[in-house]
Structure 1
Amino acid sequence: MKTYRLEFSQKIPVSLDTAWDFFSSPLNLSEITPKDMTFDVTSPIQKDTKMYTGMIITYKVSPLLGIKLNWMTEITHVKDKEYFIDEQRFGPFAFWHHNHHFEAVEGGVLMHDILHYAIGWGPIGSIANAVVVNNKINNIFNFRYKKVEELFGKL
């Protein structure tokens, strides 16, 4: 099975505490996801809940053609104010491993995402990645970049 790796970085002019507080809340994910994906957290999560190791989060998401899919991720690692990792347990990918890193830098925070994913389906999955999936993921992170700038400003 072919796996793919993408990396994204962004600096924002906020404290590490502010960045961590926002990004470690599962309910804020829908705020930084394109509206056309109709991303809804379906887990019974309270507004002030923060991610923790072993946390299971369920979603409904429409990645393509408005078709709603169930997605379940587990937060497998958390180091407070440094990083957390989510891994898909059930969902649209054959494999999904997403690192979210946070580092205090002059004037704010550097956020760095490392994503490994696989589609499966052999050569058909490779074609799907080249034609649709890679572009869709990049578009999601481009949207996220702009939305984070809107919410927190530029550094």
Structure 2
Amino acid sequence: MLHFQHFSVINAPPEVVWKFHERPDILQLLNPPWQPVQVVRRQGGLEIGAITEFRLFLGPLPLTWLARHTKCEKNHLFIDEQISGPFESWVHEHRFVGENGKTKLTDAISFSIPGGGTVEFMTGWLVQAQLEAMFRYRHHITKKECESL
């Protein structure tokens, strides 16, 4: 199993950052332009049981990803887990920690790549690099949007 983490400090309270993540268009807004993703279905918001289905592309190959929210503590955290998709397993925790009117936003992901340890060893660095670029973009957009409210 591999682990990834990215955090940033947003100059806005957790309630503002949480509300931003509740937007119905949040996935489209936070999706980097270099990674085409189509939202196929979204049922619910951030609450437990919410479902999101989207299609992403590995080169010309479309991949369907289905995720369910398995934990939600309003203004503090939510967790989504892959039900089906490109990874062997994927658990993504979004954590919002307030301090002095600001929010430390942390995305922590535990994931496994199909094919076992050797495949993870050989390709894990590439997935980590892609995640770093994607979350740098997502946090930049989140910071820009939440700090302008």
Determine which structure has the larger strand proportion and give its number.
Answer: 2
2:79 is matched by which residue type in structure 1? I
* Consecutive unaligned residues in structure 1, runs of 5 or more: none
CA distance in 2 between partners of 1:69 and 1:26 (Å): 22
Contact 1:53-1:76 within 8 A present in 2 as well? yes
Q: Does residue 40 of structure 2 align to residue 42 of structure 1?
A: yes
Q: Is the 8 A contact 2:14 2:102 kept in 1?
A: yes
CA distance in 2, matches of 1:17, 1:102: 9
Tell whether the 8 Å contact from 1:93 to 1:120 is kept in structure 2 after alignment: yes
**Displacement, 1:26?**
5.5
**Cross-structure match for 1:90:** 84
Equivalent residue, structure 2, for 1:18: 16
Residue correspondence of structure 1 range 1-155 to structure 2 within 5 A? 3-25=1-23, 27-45=25-43, 50-62=45-57, 64-122=58-116, 123-130=118-125, 132-153=126-147
Displacement after TM superposition at 1:67 (Å): 2.9
SS at match of 1:148: helix
More off after superposition, 87-96 vs 118-127: 118-127
CA contact (8 A) 1:25 1:51 kept: no
CA distance in 1, matches of 2:6, 2:119: 26
Give CA-to-partner distance per residue, 1:38-62, whole Å, 9 cap, x none. 12221155xxx53211111101122
Contact 1:88–1:96 (8 Å) recurs in 2? yes
Over the residues paired in the alignment, what is the CA RMSD in angstroms? 1.9
How many corresponding residue pairs? 147
- 1:119 aligned partner, one-letter code: I
Distance 2:20 2:54 in 1: 18
Q: TM-score, normalised by structure 1?
A: 0.84
